[in-house]
């Protein structure tokens, strides 16, 4: 990539005259910097108008008390203090963190177990069919998943029917309507959506592991567990990282599933930041509070996503 | 390699169970949709007299034809433009490598994990001030912006791996950047572009938050947003709601089944890169 080109010393056009490598490359392609910027400009403008500006505005709104119509009054960091001290608001953040167990931990652990069990038959016809089927939850709208599962988990739904059939009729209940089970029930929906994606992601990662590694381990007398710990998990570092990142973000920023299945209820049992922002901004007209919570959510997602990326990055490449 | 028989069978069994769990919600929707409209069926129970008419009723109640049209218009607005802008920027950052590219790229990458809820409030006021509230543009324009981080990231990943020699030889033949881009690089980028198109189609079609906040009329929303409204309207009529949900699912399912190979590959690459 750093190979000098024939024409590299021919022209010194472009803005980066002092940064030798980049100007040499740009000159090699004989494209002045400003032309390249013209290529970037449209994307950058749309991004700036519809993403960067709103981000800046969210931060600005978060410092004010505003009902969205009248005049706004300066609130400083008051809204942020309230996000962390108001029990209802803080509970929504805690709920999102609890959802990580269901959206992230369960799918990742289960899919690791599943993928290593079906690794050997990963190329069979059954596995190919499974690949399509397991992807369905990723393709359908989350809203539809929410509707289908609300029905399954309702007091007369299939889940309770199965429980009664198994002689566990005592625990049957309206899972999404019960204070103690609503959040886990929402979590189950998320786990259903994300399990297939994780499984297939890990399976495709496993297909890249050299089978000789497993054979060598077998010859050294390693059991399946040892194989799993010493070969499978380390080789899947990057894929596991992706699964964790995707699922944790899905948990923290959940909206669609909760909106459809419980609307945050019963009470506030399943309220999550995404939904709380929506209610605060568009129902309760507390734009400042909504924005402060939005900033906290954006920072939270970044704080979680960046270290995972860093930890699981493939440093060899 | 000697494959343990028992291991293979455990694997098969596990796969079948997993598929059953994945399909269970769909089966439940389907069976419930066949019960008499307005009834409250319990669990999974094949109705004595399947009401196939429910699908026709839901088709009319949900105004499916208008919904498909609306979602299609939104997709046509979002996907081609996002592809074009993302490719142009990815080409410049990944291949032309102008000075300052790392900074721009970082700016885009920071948007990769942005939860849409984070900016929905100011977006509402901004779209309102632009006079676009309750039009399809209210979904189209912000979505293009929100897709830019991923589109640029994706296309740059393609273009950094294109050898410089390719452009150099085209340049020798007297092509300018514009011709170079359209005649050489865009055709070569087709695999990356088609995967990106599939992902963007899916994310647009299934977009919910922007649809319910920025557009009141369900007939101008995406499928997903319309389903939300349909649930609000028919939430108490389980068989009809189930039939409607299935109908609204159908277009995505059909597209998925036709392009399943590409979908799976695209989604895998998409999540790996993202």
Collect all residues of chain B within an 8 Å Cβ-Cβ radius of residue A50.
Answer: 123, 126, 141-142, 144-146
Q: B70 and B52 share a domain?
A: no
Provide the CATH number for the domain around residue B176: 1.10.3720.10
Q: Do A143 and B249 touch (CB under 8 A)?
A: no
Domain total of chain A: 2
Domain presence at residue A51: no
Q: B28 and B140 share a domain?
A: no
- Chain A contact for B23 (CB, 8 A cutoff): yes
Collect all residues of chain A within an 8 Å Cβ-Cβ radius of residue B32.
Answer: 151
Q: B121 and B216 share a domain?
A: yes
Domain presence at residue A69: no
Q: What are the tens digits of pLDDT across the range B56-74?
A: 888 888 888 898 999 999 9
Q: B200 and B248 share a domain?
A: yes
Size of the A and B interface in Cβ pairs below 8 Å: 326
Q: What are the tens digits of pLDDT across the range B5-21?
A: 777 788 888 889 999 99
Q: B199 and B163 share a domain?
A: yes
Angle between helix axes A142-152 and B223-234 (nearest 10 degrees) is 30
Of B35, B57, B79, which marks where a domain is finished?
Answer: B57
Nearest CA in chain B to A49: B145
Q: A88 and A2 share a domain?
A: no
Of A245, A284, A275, the closest CA to residue A257 belongs to A275
Q: Which residue has the tokens 């270290």?
A: A307
Q: B187 and B220 share a domain?
A: yes
Q: B146 and B224 share a domain?
A: yes
Collect all residues of chain B within an 8 Å Cβ-Cβ radius of residue A252.
Answer: 115
Q: A100 and A192 share a domain?
A: yes
Question: Which range marks the domain in which residue A17 is found?
Answer: 1-31
Q: B213 and B154 share a domain?
A: yes
Those of residues 81-120 in B touching chain A at CB distance below 8 A are 84-86, 88-89, 91-93, 95-101, 104, 107-108, 110-111, 113-120
Q: B136 and B21 share a domain?
A: no
Q: B20 and B51 share a domain?
A: yes
Of B28, B57, B86, which marks where a domain is finished?
Answer: B57
Of the candidates A42, A55, A148, which has its C-beta nearest B88's C-beta?
A: A42
Q: What are the tens digits of pLDDT across the range B166-190?
A: 888 888 888 888 888 998 899 999 9
Give pTM, 2 decimals: 0.87
Residues β-bridged to residue A35: none
Task: Classify A314 as helix, strand or coil.
Answer: coil
Collect all residues of chain A within an 8 Å Cβ-Cβ radius of residue B174.
Answer: none
Question: Which range marks the domain in which residue B27 is found?
Answer: 5-57
Provide the CATH number for the domain around residue A114: 1.10.3720.10
| Higher per-residue pLDDT: B105 or A4 | B105
Those of residues 31-60 in A touching chain B at CB distance below 8 A are 31, 33, 35-37, 39-40, 42-44, 46-47, 49-55, 57-58
Q: A139 and A1 share a domain?
A: no
Domain total of chain B: 2
Q: B178 and B246 share a domain?
A: yes
CA-based nearest distance A278→chain B, Å: 8
- Chain B contact for A273 (CB, 8 A cutoff): yes
Nearest CA in chain B to A27: B96
Mean pLDDT of A215-233: 86
Mean pLDDT of B65-85: 94
pLDDT of the residue at A200:
86
- The CA distance from A291 to B180, in Å, is 45
Q: Do B146 and A51 touch (CB under 8 A)?
A: yes
Structure confidence at residue A5 as a pLDDT band (50, 70, 90) = very low
Domain presence at residue A47: no
Domain presence at residue A120: yes
- B153 burial class (0-12, 13-18, 19+ CB within 10 angstroms)? buried
């Amino acid at each position: 990539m750093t190979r000098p080109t024939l024409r590299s010393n021919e022209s010194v056009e472009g803005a980066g005259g002092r940064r030798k490598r980049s100007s040499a490359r740009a000159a090699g392609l004989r494209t002045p910097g400003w032309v390249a910027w013209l290529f970037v400009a449209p994307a950058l403008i749309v991004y700036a108008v519809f993403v960067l500006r709103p981000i800046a505005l969210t931060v600005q709104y978060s410092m004010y008390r505003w009902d969205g119509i009248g005049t706004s009054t300066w609130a400083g960091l008051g809204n942020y203090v309230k996000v962390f001290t108001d029990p209802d608001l803080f509970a929504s953040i805690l709920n999102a963190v609890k959802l990580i167990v269901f959206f992230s931990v369960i799918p990742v652990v289960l899919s690791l177990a599943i993928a290593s069990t079906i690794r050997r038959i990963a190329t069979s016809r059954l596995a190919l069919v499974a690949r399509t089927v397991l992807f369905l939850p990723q393709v359908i709208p989350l809203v539809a998943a929410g509707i289908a599962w609300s029905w399954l988990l309702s007091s007369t739904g299939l889940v309770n029917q199965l429980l009664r059939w198994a002689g566990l009729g005592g625990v049957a209940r309206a899972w999404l309507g019960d204070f103690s089970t609503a959040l886990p029930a929402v979590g189950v929906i998320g786990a259903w959506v994300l399990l297939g994606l994780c499984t297939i992601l890990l399976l495709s990662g496993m297909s890249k592991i050299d089978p000789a590694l497993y054979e060598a381990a077998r010859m050294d007398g390693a059991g399946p567990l040892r194989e799993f710990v010493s070969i499978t998990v380390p080789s899947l570092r990057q894929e596991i990282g992706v699964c964790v990142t995707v699922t944790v973000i899905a948990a923290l920023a959940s909206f669609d599933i909760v909106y459809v299945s419980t609307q945050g209820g019963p009470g506030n049992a399943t309220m999550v930041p995404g939904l709380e922002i929506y209610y605060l901004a568009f129902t309760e007209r507390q734009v400042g509070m909504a924005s402060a919570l939005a900033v906290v959510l954006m920072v939270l997602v970044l704080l979680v996503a960046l270290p995972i990326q860093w930890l699981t990055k493939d440093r060899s490449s | 390699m000697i494959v343990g028989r028992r291991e293979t069978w455990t694997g098969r069994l596990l796969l079948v169970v997993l598929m059953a769990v994945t399909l269970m919600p769909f089966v439940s929707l389907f069976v419930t949709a066949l019960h008499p409209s307005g009834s409250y069926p319990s669990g999974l129970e094949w109705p004595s007299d399947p009401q196939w008419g429910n699908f026709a009723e839901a088709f009319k109640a949900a105004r499916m034809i208008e919904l498909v049209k609306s979602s299609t218009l939104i997709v046509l607005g979002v996907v081609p433009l996002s592809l074009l802008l993302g490719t142009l920027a990815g080409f410049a950052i990944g291949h032309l490598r102008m000075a300052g590219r790392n900074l721009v790229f970082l700016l885009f990458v920071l948007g990769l994990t942005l939860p849409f809820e984070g900016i929905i409030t100011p977006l509402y006021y901004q779209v309102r001030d632009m006079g676009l509230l309750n039009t399809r543009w209210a979904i189209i324009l912000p979505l293009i912006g929100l897709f830019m981080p991923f589109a640029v990231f994706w296309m740059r990943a393609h273009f950094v791996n294109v050898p410089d020699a390719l452009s150099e030889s085209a340049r020798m033949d007297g092509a300018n950047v514009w011709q170079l881009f359209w005649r050489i690089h865009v055709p070569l980028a087709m695999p990356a572009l088609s995967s990106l198109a599939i992902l963007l189609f899916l994310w647009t079609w299934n977009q919910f938050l922007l649809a319910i906040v920025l557009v009141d009329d369900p007939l101008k929303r995406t499928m997903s947003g319309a389903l939300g409204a349909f649930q609000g309207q028919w939430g108490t009529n389980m068989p009809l709601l189930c039939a409607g949900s299935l109908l609204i699912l159908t277009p995505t399912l059909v597209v998925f089944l036709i392009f399943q190979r590409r979908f799976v590959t695209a989604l895998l690459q998409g999540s790996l890169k993202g």
